[in-house]
Structure 1
Amino acid sequence: MIQDIITDSWQMVWFVVEALLIAFIGIFLFDARTKFDENKLVIEDSNLAVALRKGAILLGLGIGLSSSLAGPVEHLWRDTLDVAIYGVITLICLFVAGWINDKFLLTGVKNDTEIEAGNSAVGFFEIGSYLATGMILRESLAGENGSILNALIFFLEGQLALIIFFKLYEWVTPYNLVNLVKDRNDAAGVAVGAMMTSLGFILAAGIAGPYTGLWQDVLAIAVAAVQGIILLLLVRLIAARLFLPKASLQEEIVRDRNAAAIVQMDGFIIAAALLIAAVVL
């Protein structure tokens, strides 16, 4: 009994340390990708945008890796290798998500340039993107999904859903979200980041569960995405009426740049997303 507790404890520490090491290597690689000294910008210049990005990447890594640590240890060294492999896959997928942010979401915005310049609106947007990606990866890489190839297919489908959602969200709003984020409007960055996070919860729920076959699961994820997108847009309208009864959401974001008002509204939206995800699951 005592021996089992000791063994379980040091194995737990072993895998947590391995995951943290992967996260450290990951953030080092992300730092090396940019042309500026991120630590200097955070420590000496108090650059919130850089800190938001780094925090989002670390959270995305932690969430994505957490599925590989779940379950009992069967073979220490084989499981150690599995965690390392999942760590590499998670890192690559987060790099891909960052590229998607630049090319397909914030089109016309050079994210690295804006982050270096201290544009925290871009940082808030990236929090939503990386958190959603981490949640998608967590369920995609869970042991029930057939193979690593299947996991990558689910990841790409999740990214496609995020792109479609962002474009649709931008289309239904009476203002240009990308321009507002580029113009350092934190309220706009918080609003869209929260919506991306919310959809991430729902997509992850659509991916979770027993593997029933590749195309059946692809269809199930697509259905969850459609349901999630429609419901989140409806919840957004309800939240605006509940939390901004005497104000216009457009005015709060565009004219007043009122991030405080948007944060409380987004708390309701994310809570609703968790409930929707529970129903999907």
Structure 2
Amino acid sequence: MDYTETLISMGQGVCYALVSILFIFIAKKLDDWRTRDFDDDRHIDDGNLAVGLRRAGLYLGIAIGMTGALSGESAGFRTDMRYLLIDGVLVTGCLFISRFINDFVMMGHINNDRECIKVFTLGDGRTTTGNTALGIVEAGMYIATGFILNGSMSGGGGGFYQSLGSALVFFVLGQMVLLVFGLVYEMISSFHVRDEIKQNNPAAGIGLAGILVALGIILKSSLSGPFTGWINDIVGFFVYTLLGMILLLGFSVLVDRFLLPTTNIATEIKADKNVAALVVVQATIIAVALIIAHAV
């Protein structure tokens, strides 16, 4: 074993990790400034789960997106670092745009910031601060977007500007797909998903966030690989997307039937608000998405 080469590789890995942490810190400061009307750190210290979840999703989305820039063959440490810095700016900017889309489109003009510090009265009379369901959905949107950016940055076969353009184009297309899929999920559900989320039903938040993350994993797989031309890549993206959506919805029915034999997802969400059941169901859907992404 060449220990010198191993140590050099580990040192470079530490530098890449420090750059990622830098962008997570920058994202924190930007979000602190964006939500300067209230103190996010204080809310997290006070146990506001909604604020903690949305911040966790943002940080995970940045890390997932930036790992796409590190895949493939190295162009040399200095060049890799320069590309990583540029991609970090792109990923961070795209995630903040994704937050805006989630706030004003996905959730139907629900103000996420206001909801995440709103005081809710529980069924037993106790009060809690923050719409946890909404925090879960926002975290899911960040993570799904991170997977999309990861896939769009991890391909080869084109130059730097082609890679940059590809990341932007497929970020936009990916957001459109997530919004459409969210609408389809709402339409096929026997209850009003967004109403349940607005009423701070965490099970509903897990249901929507889980299936968005699952789709993001499949979209990442469709975007990974060498650049073969804009038309081929865009057509392939939509074919893969349609197939993935059909498979996810089909497996959702199977999971509902076999993992919840005495009930169903709609009952567990709307009537029982059963967080445990939805964690199991959506974890299974994400597991299926991982298998689909590596098998198709």
Question: For the superposition of Structure 1 and Structure 2, which TM-score range results when normalised by the shorter chain?
Answer: over 0.9
Unmatched tracts of structure 1, length 5 or more: none
> Retained in 2: the 8 A contact 1:145–1:151?
no
Number of the residue aligned with 1:77:
78
* 1:23-172 correspondence to structure 2 within 5 Å: 23-34=24-35, 35-43=37-45, 45-71=46-72, 73-117=74-118, 118-144=130-156, 146=158, 147=162, 148-172=164-188
Tell me how far 1:10 sits from its aligned partner: 2.0
**CA RMSD of the aligned region, Å?**
1.5
Tell me how far 1:242 sits from its aligned partner: 1.0
> Retained in 1: the 8 A contact 2:57–2:138?
yes
Number of the residue aligned with 2:121:
none
Quote the Cα distance in structure 1 between the aligned partners of 2:236 and 2:73: 28
Quote the Cα distance in structure 2 between the aligned partners of 1:12 and 1:139: 20
One-letter amino acid of the structure 2 residue matched with residue 244 of structure 1: L
Quote the Cα distance in structure 2 between the aligned partners of 1:145 and 1:116: 46
One-letter amino acid of the structure 2 residue matched with residue 137 of structure 1: L
Tell me how far 1:111 sits from its aligned partner: 0.9
Quote the Cα distance in structure 2 between the aligned partners of 1:205 and 1:212: 15
Alignment deviations for residues 61-112 of structure 1 (CA, whole Å, 9 cap, x no partner): 0000112233565443332221111000000100111011012100031111
**Sequence identity, in percent?**
36
Report the count of equivalent residues: 279
> Retained in 1: the 8 A contact 2:215–2:245?
yes
> Retained in 2: the 8 A contact 1:243–1:265?
yes
Q: 1:145 to 1:27 in 2, by over 3 A?
A: farther
One-letter amino acid of the structure 2 residue matched with residue 86 of structure 1: D
Partner secondary structure for residue 268 of structure 1: helix
One-letter amino acid of the structure 2 residue matched with residue 275 of structure 1: I
Quote the Cα distance in structure 2 between the aligned partners of 1:260 and 1:88: 37
Quote the Cα distance in structure 2 between the aligned partners of 1:5 and 1:275: 32
Alignment deviations for residues 225-265 of structure 1 (CA, whole Å, 9 cap, x no partner): 11111111111111111121111322211111111111111
One-letter amino acid of the structure 1 residue matched with residue 116 of structure 2: I
Q: Provide runs of 4+ in structure 1 moved above 6 Å.
A: none
Q: What TM-score, normalized by structure 2, do the two folds share?
A: 0.90
* 1:183-194 correspondence to structure 2 within 5 Å: 183-194=199-210
One-letter amino acid of the structure 1 residue matched with residue 222 of structure 2: G
Number of the residue aligned with 1:264:
280
> Retained in 1: the 8 A contact 2:133–2:203?
yes
Alignment deviations for residues 24-82 of structure 1 (CA, whole Å, 9 cap, x no partner): 11122122211211000010x21000000011001000000112233565443332221
Quote the Cα distance in structure 1 between the aligned partners of 2:14 and 2:293: 31
Tell me how far 1:192 sits from its aligned partner: 0.6
Alignment deviations for residues 124-155 of structure 1 (CA, whole Å, 9 cap, x no partner): 11122111100000111125163211221111
Number of the residue aligned with 1:243:
259
Q: What TM-score, normalized by structure 1, do the two folds share?
A: 0.95
> Retained in 1: the 8 A contact 2:155–2:227?
no
> Retained in 2: the 8 A contact 1:240–1:249?
yes
Number of the residue aligned with 1:226:
242
